[in-house]
Amino acid sequence: MQGVDPAWLPDGAFRPIGTRRTLIRGAGPLVDTVHGEVAQACRRFGGRVVRAAGADGTAYDLVLELTGPEGLGSEGFTCRREDGVTHVTAYGQAGLLYGLFHLVRLGERAFSQDRQKQAHRPALALRMLDHWDNVAVHPVMGQVERGYAGGSLFWADGRARGELLGRVRAYGRLLAACGINAVAVNNVNVHEVEARLLTNRIGEVAAVADALRPYGIRVHLSVTFAAPMVLGGLPTADPLDEGVRDWWAESTSRVYEAIPDFGGYVVKADSEGQPGPFAYGRSHADGANMLAAALQPFGGTVHWRAFVYDHRQDWRDRTTDRARAAYDHFVPLDGQFAGNAVLQVKHGPMDFQVREPVSPLIGAMPRTRLAVEVQATQEYTGQQRHVCWLGPMWSEVLRFRADGESAVGELARGGLVAVSNVGDDPFWTGHPLAQANLYTFGRLAWQPDANPYGLLDEWIRLTFTPTRSEESARLEAGLYAVLAQSWRTYEKYTAPLGVGWMVQPGHHYGPSVDGYEYSPWGTYHFADRDGIGVDRSVATGTGYTGQYAKRWAELYESPATCPDELLLFFHHVSYDHVLHSGKTVIQHMYDTHCEGVEEVEEARAVWASLAGLVDPARHARVAERFEEQLRSAREWRDQVNSYFFRKSGVPDAHGRRIY
């Protein structure tokens, strides 16, 4: 696209394919997409591409073909190279497309030496982005709720932005290249205008679906549970009411008339003010299953979010623990959800803080299809003004053995979902380096046990194509230095030891240690002059640790065994409590906050040193954001350190200035 950053698909990434002779065997719309990609690369770099069922493969450098089933499903593929010919085979068209992008990632290595046949298939069938995009600009939340990359890719001025469908297609291409196959096109908080996408405005959704379909991406729609009343004029939305069920069945049938490969519904019910089944004395399984029944004839899925808690809590009440809520609400329903109802669980028990334990719900519902939701948009992690590459955090979550044995990446049979970090910004993500989060998410959804640092390397190599190759090493090393530790750096200068929050209420940017301390949101640190943290133990606290599998329950129960980085999430300890690291809690706070700022200063310097190796516009955008990141990091350091010095009275062991 003109004027839009090519991200991880710059023209040069197709040079290895575009300089060669390619044979494509097979037919169908996604094979057409594959052919189009190769043909364009050949036009640019002088190669050739032929579509012919019976041609002799040995006359080509590359053969891409649809074959019989090899047990790899519709999205898997194989790749091998022998006798000077690289072969990619797939049973499904999508598999061939993913195979093509696999070659793009391999680059020249795809053609430089023989390789054994290797099978690839996604570990998770659903790899999804949820866009919290509003059709009509919300008076408080704006066009994109928690969006930090400009307006919406899909919506503007209260309707689908038809003029940008070319850009939506380009977006689909980027997503396919990292393995994503589903997109929910509107905010889970479904307001009045957005509700109508389900019915008389489904045509606008269909237009988006048309733009994404060539890249194997299905669209999903967030719907309001109250739709039968709001849109259908019914007196109730009771999920067991026959009229309501009929209304959903008919409405869903019309959706599939407009979009035959429609993915399904996303629902936030009985959560933060959204309507839901509780109003009718029904369970969340009743609610989800009603929608599942409507979708079932067409192969659709309902994604039912487990983000249910009391957001009007009394801060005086220390017995209610928001962290417990999802488990308490949903575990009793295990086994009651329909086969095409997926329970979508946030990865942590709270809300996308920089550090949380893994949600105990994930290990506790073996008879339910779970999807795990992460947040690519950096709501609490710097809002795309700070560099914060989340790959290591997500990887830790996905490799966590939630039930004591299986990893989260295995338990998430309903898929991996991220809240999108993309908008109509020319760099897609506001901060150009935030593209790495989007890429890493897609690749981890394909292979949850992948080494995230390997994926970071992959993203760097694809995205940054230096003009002179001898500078590659310096550029790649610099980018790696800026990004690899950035999440831990961010953690250091913000809320310490897993306690979370301490952000400005409402917009969630910048520090306010007591910002959520006396609020109704259930998000407290309980700091007093002696200590800080939330006692969630079974013995003396809220009992939350008891929601975990035995292995973790025992580990988290005692401050002696609880990992340092989660200590304040699980325990209230005194400021002079000694961590496993050997430092006291208060000294740890002072030290990490100073270190975090120093690390930002270093990263900024590294970035500055890359000027000339990076496209000037991209370099300037990142440099400008580094100034804000540094200012903000210093603000975090000084507010947090001052707050705790004033409260604890403990001086910094190193005598640094505290205000």
Q: Which residues of this chain interact with a copy of itself, rule CB under 8 A? A: 315-316, 511-514, 518, 527-530, 635, 638-639, 642-643, 645-649, 659
Asked whether the beta carbons of 457 and 464 are under 8 A apart, the reply is no
* Residue number with CB closer to a copy of itself (113 or 659): 659
Q: Which is nearer to a copy of itself, 474 or 631 (CB)?
A: 631
Q: What is the rounded CA–CA span in Å between residue 412 and residue 271?
A: 22
Catalytic residue among 351, 403, 535, 591: 351
CB of 418 to a copy of itself, least distance (A): 31
User: CA of 332: how far to CAs of 90, 91, 284, 543, in Å?
Assistant: 42, 40, 11, 17
Can 615 be counted among the known catalytic residues? no
Place of tokens 């994503």: 180
CB of 529 to a copy of itself, least distance (A): 5
Residue 422 and residue 429 in contact, taking contact as beta carbons nearer than 8 Å: yes
| Least CB distance to a copy of itself at residue 597 (A) | 14
- What's the min distance (Å) between Cβ of 659 and a copy of itself? 5
DSSP H or E segment with residue 219: strand 218-222
- Comparing CB distances to a copy of itself, the nearer of 178 and 585 is 585
Residue 332, judged by CB atoms within 10 A of its CB (0-12, 13-18, 19+), counts as: exposed
* Structure-block tokens of residue 35: 């052919």
In whole angstroms, the minimum distance from the beta carbon of 594 to a copy of itself comes to: 15
Q: State the Cα–Cα distance between residues 432 and 436, nearest whole angstrom.
A: 8
**Closest CB to a copy of itself among 371 and 640?**
640
Closer CB to a copy of itself, 166 or 649, in the complex: 649
Alpha carbons 360 and 569: distance in angstroms, whole number: 14
CB of 596 to a copy of itself, least distance (A): 17
For 523, the enclosing helix (H) or strand (E) is none
272: annotated active-site residue: yes
The torsion defined by the Cα of 623, 629, 632 and 634, in degrees rounded to 10, comes to: -90
Closest CB 75 distance from a copy of itself, rounded Å: 46
Q: Which is nearer to a copy of itself, 169 or 647 (CB)?
A: 647
In this structure, the number of other CB atoms found within 10 A of the CB of residue 628 comes to 13
**In sequence order, what DSSP letters do the residues of 253-308 get, joined into one string?**
HHHHHH-TT--EEEE--SSTT---GGGGT--HHHHHHHHHHHHGGGT-EEEEE---
- Closer residue to a copy of itself in complex, CB, 415/531: 531
Q: Which ranges of 69-201 would DSSP assign to H, the alpha helix?
A: 93-106, 109-112, 165-178, 192-195
CB of 273 or CB of 659, closer to a copy of itself: 659
Residue 516 CB, nearest distance to a copy of itself (Å)?
Answer: 10
What would the DSSP string read from start to end of 525-590? ----SSEE-----TTTS-SGGGGS-HHHHHHHHSTTTS-GGGHHHH--EETTPBPTTSSBHHHHHH
User: Looking at residue 88, what DSSP letter applies?
Assistant: E
**H-state helical runs in 114-164:** none
- Among the options 250, 272, 314, 528, which is catalytic? 272
Q: Quick one: tokens of 322? A: 């928001």
Q: Is 509 exposed, middle or buried (0-12, 13-18, 19+ CB in 10 A)?
A: middle
CB of 494 to a copy of itself, least distance (A): 14
- Tell me the closest approach of the beta carbon of residue 638 to a copy of itself, in angstroms: 6
Residues 6+ apart with CB under 8 A from 420: 129, 130, 131, 132, 183, 376, 377, 438
Q: Which is nearer to a copy of itself, 316 or 367 (CB)?
A: 316
b/e burial code for range 211-238 (CB count within 10 A of at least 16 → b): bbbbbbbbbbbbbbbbbbbbbbebeebb
**Gap between the Cα atoms of 309 and 634, Å rounded:** 34
Least spacing, CB of residue 190 vs a copy of itself, in Å: 23
Please identify which of the residues 238, 373, 379, 557 carries the catalytic annotation. Answer: 379
Identify whether the C-beta of residue 321 lies closer than 8 Å to the C-beta of residue 360.
Answer: no
Q: Which is nearer to a copy of itself, 504 or 609 (CB)?
A: 504
- Give the closest residue to 206 by CA, choosing from 263, 247, 152: 263
**177-186 as b/e, with b when 16 or more CB fall inside 10 Å?**
bbbbbbbbbb
CB 184 within 8 A of CB 131: yes
108 is annotated as an active-site residue: no
Q: Which is nearer to a copy of itself, 298 or 315 (CB)?
A: 315
Active-site amino acid positions: 272, 351, 379
